[in-house]
Amino acid sequence: MARSTMDAAPETRVGRPQRARRRRTPFQLVAQVLGELLITAGVVLLLFVGWELWWTNIDSSIKQEQALEQFFSDVPPITAPDPVQGGAGPAAPEDFGDPVVLPQQDLVGTFGVVYIPRFGEGYSRPVTSGVGTDVLDNLGLGHYPGTGVPGELGNFALAGHRQTHGQVLDQIHTLMPGDRIYVQTRDGYYTYVFRNTEIVLPDRADVIAPVPTRPDATPEDRILTLTSCNPRFGAQERIIAYSVLESWRPIGAGPPPEIAENVARAAGQG
């Protein structure tokens, strides 16, 4: 204000665009650079939002496909379900006895694949050991170290992003009781049945205990727990989805008929 009364005689204002550029006061120079920096900061923030919500998904899908490729190159070739049993229609799940489970020390890198038909026909995501940002931000689903393995008595606990970085559990709230969640490892296919979701605060580590929410109890069920953030686009809470093992098939018996196509696609894609 004080400055404008000093130099703004009416006639000097007429030719302002040109003169303003030549005779900039230090204050004007600072204001211009500051303004340009602020605009740049705004653009960079918008770019960051775009990167987080859009680019991380593309980046993560590429890395997940590579992880699937790696996984399928290590497991025995996928055999189609036995035609005799497949022709019998959706009969009761066959009984292959107690599930074979992976030893804890073999939970290294990408050790499994999860199929959830409710999330879309072709939904197949690698499962990788660890829940650090290196795993969750790149490879989709991460396995909480120290929790159970697929098919084991106890709690096989996985974490995944709801939004960004592949948004592998974006649709977690659409699961309905009775939905099947299939886990494939090098030993076989484990079919879990979704039971319920629960929304908890982020510090509730007891939901991944062998008996969820009861850390001292002895496990009697074979549980699969998925954790993700809640609400969507936020992280004030966590959404937890519990499923219980229904059946399992050894790898040699072929995938459950319901997901045979998905498995073939995931394996062929890789």
Partner 1 sequence: MYGWIFRALPGPLWMRVILSVMLVLAAVLALMLFVFPWVSQFNPLTDSTIGSP
Q: For partner 1, which is the closer residue by CB, 126 or 142?
A: 142
**CA–CA gap between residue 94 and residue 85 (Å, rounded):** 9
The DSSP secondary-structure symbol of 94 reads: P
Q: For partner 1, which is the closer residue by CB, 202 or 250?
A: 202
Residues 6+ apart with CB under 8 A from 92: none
Provide the binding-site residues for partner 1, judged by CB under 8 A.
32-33, 36-37, 44, 47-48, 51-52, 55-56, 131-133, 136-137, 142, 144-145, 159-165, 169, 200, 202-205, 207-208, 227-229, 233-235, 238, 240
Give min distance, CB of 52 to partner 1, in A. Answer: 7
**Amino acid letter, residue 254:** G
Q: For partner 1, which is the closer residue by CB, 159 or 223?
A: 159
Give min distance, CB of 51 to partner 1, in A. Answer: 5
**CA–CA gap between residue 121 and residue 226 (Å, rounded):** 19
**CA–CA gap between residue 152 and residue 210 (Å, rounded):** 10
- What Rg, from alpha-carbon coordinates, does the chain have? 27
Q: For partner 1, which is the closer residue by CB, 175 or 251?
A: 175
Residue 19 tokens, joined: 């003169």
Q: For partner 1, which is the closer residue by CB, 85 or 236?
A: 236
Residue 40 tokens, joined: 């740049």
The dihedrals phi and psi of 174, each to the nearest 5 degrees, come to -90, -5
Give min distance, CB of 246 to partner 1, in A. Answer: 25
Q: For partner 1, which is the closer residue by CB, 191 or 228?
A: 228
186, with CB counted inside 10 A (0-12, 13-18, 19+), is: middle
Give min distance, CB of 145 to partner 1, in A. Answer: 8
Residues 6+ apart with CB under 8 A from 225: 147, 155, 156, 157, 158, 207, 208, 212, 240, 241, 242, 243
Q: For partner 1, which is the closer residue by CB, 85 or 174?
A: 174
Give min distance, CB of 164 to partner 1, in A. Answer: 5
**CA–CA gap between residue 112 and residue 101 (Å, rounded):** 12
Give min distance, CB of 173 to partner 1, in A. Answer: 14
Give min distance, CB of 44 to partner 1, in A. Answer: 7
Instruction: Of 142, 131, 150, 166, give the one whose Cα is nearest residue 59.
Output: 166
